Amino acid sequence: AQSVTQPDIHITVSEGASLELRCNYSYGATPYLFWYVQSPGQGLQLLLKYFSGDTLVQGIKGFEAEFKRSQSSFNLRKPSVHWSDAAEYFCAVKGFQKLVFGTGTRLLVSP
Amino acid sequence: DAGVTQSPTHLIKTRGQQVTLRCSPKSGHDTVSWYQQALGQGPQFIFQYYEEEERQRGNFPDRFSGHQFPNYSSELNVNALLLGDSALYLCASSLGLAGAPSSYNEQFFGPGTRLTVL
């Protein structure tokens, strides 16, 4: 069965600093991978997705993620964090007619 | 173009009661999936509806049931509420089924319904 692990429950980053959120997945074949962001009281917004091809994918809001098959990872990165990036971030893998999510990483941005 | 809408926004119930949550899919979408997001957790798949039938179900008891109407809107019903049912319930819509490993139809999420069971 598919599964996703996000090892960091909370991460605090200074505004303007770089960010990397970790995601490891378990899936037998080539996975479809996603990063979503959830602001307080909001639903999930898709940041980016990986299906195949170039292992470095660009998303919205300046985010990117790199698929590394050898490490079963799909880490999310941003070169310079803004205060508005404070939110909960979820990594997900496509299962059979559903998405399987990790437990999320809460990003706090300090001034 | 309206996105996915859900109602109500918040709901408070007591143990043993029954609740119905509603979802209208994004215009042009015909498939609705429901997820439960407990506090501090990621969303967990409950079930998916397509052509008014339940197509796939996650690991949830029969107390959780659903329905899809001819206009593609959907309801989630939970009977005999437990304290542990307190969560944010998310609805996601997509176009068609994407069960095959090589296919994916993007799911668009609504803002959710916050259910509190006392």
pLDDT digits (tens, 9 = 90+) for A27-78: 877 789 999 999 987 889 999 999 888 899 999 999 999 999 999 999 999 9
Question: A2: pLDDT confidence band, cut at 50, 70 and 90?
Answer: confident
Alpha carbons B33 and B107: distance in angstroms, whole number: 8
**B44, B58, B109: residue with CB nearest A43:** B109
State percent of chain A over pLDDT 70: 100
Q: Could you say which DSSP state residue B31 is in?
A: E
B104 vs A51: CB contact, 8 Å cut-off?
yes
**From A6, which residue of chain B is nearest by alpha-carbon distance?**
B42
Q: For the stretch B8-44, what's the b/e string if a residue is b when 16 or more beta carbons lie within 10 angstroms of its beta carbon? A: eeeeebeeeeebebebbbbeebbbbbbbbbeeeebbb
**From A90, which residue of chain B is nearest by alpha-carbon distance?**
B42
B53, pLDDT greater than 90: yes
What was the pLDDT predicted at A30? Answer: 76
A103 vs B42: CB contact, 8 Å cut-off?
yes
User: Is the separation of the CB atoms in A22 and A68 below 8 Å?
Assistant: no
Residues in chain A with CB shorter than 8 Å from the CB of B4 are 43
B57, pLDDT greater than 90: yes
A92 vs B42: CB contact, 8 Å cut-off?
yes
Counting Cβ atoms within 10 Å, is residue B112 exposed (0-12), middle (13-18) or buried (19+)?
A: buried
What was the pLDDT predicted at B99? Answer: 56
* Higher-pLDDT residue of B19, B96: B19
Compute CA A72 distance to the chain's CA centroid, rounded to the nearest angstrom.
13
* Mean pLDDT confidence for B62-77: 97
A99 vs B110: CB contact, 8 Å cut-off?
no
| Residue B56, H or E segment | strand B53-57
What was the pLDDT predicted at A73? Answer: 95
B109 vs A32: CB contact, 8 Å cut-off?
no
Question: B98: pLDDT confidence band, cut at 50, 70 and 90?
Answer: low
Residue A45: CB atoms within 10 Å: 15
Alpha carbons B71 and B84: distance in angstroms, whole number: 32
* Higher-pLDDT residue of B67, A28: B67
The mean predicted confidence, pLDDT, of chain A is 93
What was the pLDDT predicted at B102? Answer: 55
Question: B1: pLDDT confidence band, cut at 50, 70 and 90?
Answer: low
- 3-state class (DSSP) for residue A6: coil
Question: B70: pLDDT confidence band, cut at 50, 70 and 90?
Answer: very high
* Mean pLDDT confidence for B23-35: 94
The mean predicted confidence, pLDDT, of chain B is 92
B117, pLDDT greater than 60: yes
